[in-house]
Amino acid sequence: MKVGFIGLGAMGKGMALNLVKAGFSVTVWNRSEEPVKALVEAGARQAKKPSDAAKVDVLISMLAEDATAHKVLLDGGVIDAMRKGTVHVNMASVSVAFGRAMAQLHARMGLGYVAAPVLGRPDVAAAGKLNIIAAGEQRWLDKAQPLLEAMGQKVWPVGEAPERANVVKIGANFMLASAIEAMAEASTLTRAYGVSAHDFLDIVTNTLFASPAYQGYGKAIAEEKFEPAGFKMTLGYKDVGLALSAAGDERVPLPLAGVVRDRMLDAIANGDGDKDWAGLATVAARQAHLDKRGTGESTSNAGNTLQSGDAELAVESDEMEKSERTSWLRRSAKGRKGDAGDKPDMNDINDTAEQVDTREEPVKEPRKEKGGRRSRKKSDD
């Protein structure tokens, strides 16, 4: 089977290499030359222009976003160069609207179209362990199946409408972005109290959230390893934007998506657009001003000594406890019935309040004088 592959970025180069290793005849094109040379050395053929890679049985494209895909595939003449019956497998994360429009265009031209976005980072792509979400007419899926199996560990079909695969990918990336943001905020909270991000994330990613996504991004956050980027912040911002766009089309509120997108915009505005999107942890730490706290430890010491400069706050909890003990003593003393004329000395109670055990003891009933009243009555008589 003759295969064309367009787009040899961080993900595409590993995917194309796996096709070459699987024995397929692969023709590749990429805007920059370096990844092309590596593929040619491995046995692929080089296309001089994008349309040269389209004269095949199955064309695979892995381009960054809608605008790039439009420029290369449509403006670059790729779709026009495809022969009838050729299947185009679009493995990029594109918008639902773009995916739907591409499917309609291919159908009018007698071409097959399969949307097959992937789940996995560049190292997973290189290892051929991607999870591939696929949607399209069954005849086109069947033709593309051997190629998909060579690039991934499992193919997940989600129906015949190609845009279904696109929305699954968009939803999955939105969940990943939300998970990263949650870890970023939570680890910033623990750092403010002197618990390192490493210790905190080691606990939660091996107990409550023991999954590859949490463990992988948790490790990146703990080690502050955001370069080289496995998935750039700008791409994450784009994908969360795709989620909001798709949600708007179907009137589905996504309040959390708006928050996460703004955090990513903050990172991009601060020059971190080319860093991994795990760098959301930097945004959370910056907004908490952890860098201005010296060691990043707590501004409080277990509720005892507050570093606020307010001496009254420093003993507030102790004063409350003292007040409670004093109140208890007053209530207790008031409730006792001693000999006539005996009243508790409140000054003594206040002076000794701090020395009293706060554990309440049962109040003993006052002893009744045997025959006291009756004897006096008889004497009066």
Residues 6+ apart with CB under 8 A from 369: none
Are 24 and 3 within 8 A, CB to CB?
yes
Candidate list 143, 169, 238, 275, residue with the active-site label: 169
Radius of gyration in angstroms for the set of CA atoms belonging to the chain, rounded to a whole number = 35
Between CA 144 and CA 151, with CA 146 as vertex, the angle to 5 degrees is 95
Of 90, 101, 86, nearest to 2 by C-alpha is 86
**Distance from C-alpha of 294 to C-alpha of 159, rounded to nearest angstrom:** 54
Whether 37 is a known active-site residue: answer no
Bin 274: left if φ > 0, else alpha if -120 < ψ < 50, else beta. Answer: alpha
Written as six digits, the tokens of 35 are 């990844």
Q: Which amino acid is present at 267?
A: A
**Distance from C-alpha of 197 to C-alpha of 200, rounded to nearest angstrom:** 5
Written as six digits, the tokens of 164 are 């279904």
**Distance from C-alpha of 299 to C-alpha of 137, rounded to nearest angstrom:** 60
Are 143 and 86 within 8 A, CB to CB?
no
Q: What is the dihedral of CA 338, 341, 347, 348, to 10 degrees?
A: -40
Helix/strand number for the chain, H first, E second: 17, 11
Catalytic residues: 169
